[in-house]
Each structure stands twice: as C-alpha cells, then as structure tokens.
Amino acid sequence: MPPNSAPLASPNTGAPTDKDSLVPVPAPRSEPANEHRFDIDLMRLICSCAVILGHVAGAFILAVDRQEENGPSAYWAGHIADGANQFAVPMFFAMAGWAVLMGAPPRDSARMWTRIIRNGTPLFVWTAAYLGWAWLRDDNDKPMTDLTVDALFGSVQPAYHLWFLYAYIPIIMALGFLVLIRAGQRPWGLGIALLVIATLPNILATISEFTDWRVPTVGWSFGTYSVVYAIGGAMLFALPKGLSRRGRWLVVPLMLAAMAGCIWWDTQVHYVIPNAHPFVAILTLSLLLLVSRVRIPERWRPRLTKLAAAAMGAYMVHVFFVEELVKRWVTDDYGPLTASGMLIAMVSMTIVLSYGASLLWGKLGLRRWLG
C-alpha cells in the first residue's frame, strides 16, 4: 500500500470496535499480573543506603569547613563518598515513575489519594519529630510556631533531608492524574490539588500584599529534570530484558567515569553538583542498566523485600544519627587511613541504626506513621 493511501474498508459486522466507542481503552500493562520486581527492591535498598552515605560524607566535608587545607584526608574522603551517591535522588524519581506509570498504576482517584497519604503522613510526623528534637536541644533558629507554619509549605531545619518528599509527592500526583485521564476517568480532586500546588507561590504572594505576612518558601513543586527521570525510569525499568552479563560489565567503567566527573565538579566547580547535571544523569542511567532485571537468588528474596520495606523509614530517621553521633565524632585531623576507616565505620553504624529502628517500628505496626 502506498504511504499516502487510505486503508481498505473493513466489513461492518455490527459489533462495536475501539474506534466506534467513546470510552478510551486503557493502555496494556507492561508487567505480568502480580509480578514482584525484586530488582526494584534491591534498587530501593541501594538508594536508601546511598542517601545515608551522602549525608555522612557531608559531615566529613563540613568538619573541614569545605576547605581542603583544613584537613585534606577528611575533605577527600567526604567528597569521594559524596560523588558516589549522586544517583540516589534521580533514581528515586525513576522508581516513582515506574511505579505510577507501569508497575502499579492507580485504578481510581481513591487509590491515588491513599498513595499520597501514605507518603505524606510520615513527612509531617517526622517533621514534627525533628522540630521537637531541635526544640529540646534549644537548637531551633526560629520560634517553633514559625517553623511549623514553614514546614507546611517546604522543608525546614533540622529536617533538611525531607525536601525530597515535597517534590516526590507532586510528581506522583501529576503522573497518577495522567494515568487516570488516560483510563477515561475524571480525577477532579487531583486536578484541583495540582492547580493549587502550581499557583501556591503566587497565592501566598497575593496574601502577603494585603497582610504584610512573611511568605514561607514553597517546596511543593517539581522540576523538568525530575519529570524526565520519572518518565525515562518508567520506560527503562519496564524493558522486558536487562543487559547481558557482558553488557553489565561494560556499563561499570561508564559508571565509574561518571562518579569521577561528579567528584571533579564538587571539588573544582561547585558543591553540590545539580541533580540535572549530565554526570549525574550518566551515573543514574548506568546504575539503572546495571541493576534492572538482575536476577535475585530466591534465598535472598524474603530478606531483601523486608529491608526494602524498611528503606523509607531508614531514610526518615537517619539524620538523627548523623547529627547526634557522626558530627560529634568526625574531626579534621585524620590521616588517609584513619579518614577512610572512620568513613566506613560511620556509614555502617548509621545504616545499622537506621534500618534497625525502621524494622522495629515495622514490627510494632507503625509503618503507616513513620514510613
């Protein structure tokens, strides 16, 4: 058939077809029904530990006031570790995209709101916990009332690591909204909520014009880079086959080169490298290809799933241990071997304490509140 010719008419059987119906046909799922992706569990575990690595590394960098001359061993130990973890935030966006678009797309608005509440509840519980902790230590830089109001709109000290959820929740809302629209539904509540998020800075600015109220910083938003990571991650995680063993080994040098690029940028240009930087994107892509569809031995799967379920809780609580233990013990006068040993010891301690705490409240039935 010539490219510009019309298709031949098919006989009219009287039965409705997709073209005859006004109801959109849902896109087919790329995942077999009830398939559990143990490689995604592994990636969640890797990314959670990478976040902890990055914050412990930050304690080493801050111990020398970000200056190499104040302690070269601690400085380089911190920056090397920090460069190795830069994939964590982009990969969390990639896994979010896969979950909403491919792995477990919402069937209706109620289920989407359940997912939002499941992520939002620990955000505010832990924000309150961190603010209360800082108040008990007399470490708040503002009155508690001001910090509480600010926390409704964006992350605050000392819960600095929770900024991610102020971007994560809106992006899963937006992706879920599109999935439901595609399925022929009308998720008005999600649409209104997204409109409020989009206009919130200007709403607050308008209120400020009439009341002289100091407008809080709004963290409820997401950038272009996070959308690209989410959509790209959904596509790549959904590929039916991963790389061959040889292909995985070929990805490793690319990943190490991207890590080196991140370290160079952090030490020679600006600390911290942006999540949208090409070095970070290459590092994220390399790790995704390395781990996606990797086969997890059956004897490891129950333990891996249990740890992956505790990953969010470990992420939430680990800053307590970084601030109260790591920063108290890290100094600027280490030699190369001591700095390396202390870094390994501090990371291991923080991971064990964070996951131990998360597993404990999981057994107590507090996962809904504490992550």
Per-residue pLDDT tens over the stretch 134-156: 999 888 878 888 999 999 999 99
CA separation for the pair 57, 182 (Å, rounded): 43
- pLDDT at site 19: 42
Location of structure tokens 């409820």:
220
Q: 16 pLDDT exceeds 50?
A: no
Segment 278-282 shows an average pLDDT of: 98
Is 14 within a domain?
no
In a domain, 319, yes or no: yes
Distances in Å between the alpha carbon of 237 and those of 119, 231, 367?
Answer: 22, 10, 26
HSE value, Cβ hemisphere, 13 Å, CA-based, for 6: 3
The predicted-structure confidence for 154-175, as pLDDT tens digits, reads as follows: 999 999 999 999 999 999 999 9
% of the chain exceeding 90 in pLDDT: 84
**What is the overall mean pLDDT for the chain?**
91
**Would you say residue 50 lies in a domain?**
yes
Give residue 34's pLDDT: 59
Would 231 be classed as within a structural domain?
A: yes
In a domain, 7, yes or no: no
Note the pLDDT tens digit of each residue in 89-134. Answer: 999 999 999 999 999 999 999 999 999 999 999 999 999 999 999 9
**Running DSSP on this structure, what letter comes out for residue 70?**
G
How many alpha carbons fall within 13 Å on the CB side of residue 131?
A: 20
Q: Over 70: is that where the pLDDT of 31 sits?
A: no
Domain range for 306: 38-361
Is residue 10 a part of any domain in this protein? no
pLDDT beyond 50 at 32: yes
Question: So what's the pLDDT on residue 35?
Answer: 79
pLDDT digits (tens, 9 = 90+) for 211-258: 988 889 999 999 999 999 999 999 999 999 999 988 899 999 999 999
Assess whether pLDDT exceeds 50 at residue 84: yes
In the chain, % of residues over pLDDT 70? 91
Cα–Cα distance measured from residue 251 to residue 280, given in angstroms and rounded to the nearest whole number = 15
**Higher pLDDT residue, 6 or 83?**
83
Other residues' Cβ atoms within 10 Å of the Cβ of residue 162: 23
pLDDT computed for residue 126 by the predictor: 97
Report whether pLDDT(22) > 60: no
On whether residue 251 sits in a domain, the answer given is yes
What total of structural domains would you count in the chain? 1
328: number of Cβ within 10 Å:
9
For 46, how many CA atoms within 13 A lie in the half-sphere containing its CB?
Answer: 21
> Is position 23 within any domain?
no
Res. 20: pLDDT tops 90: no
Measured at the alpha carbon of residue 276, what is the angle toward residues 272 and 281, in degrees to the nearest 5? Answer: 105
Contacts 24+ apart (CB under 8 A), 300-303: 301/38
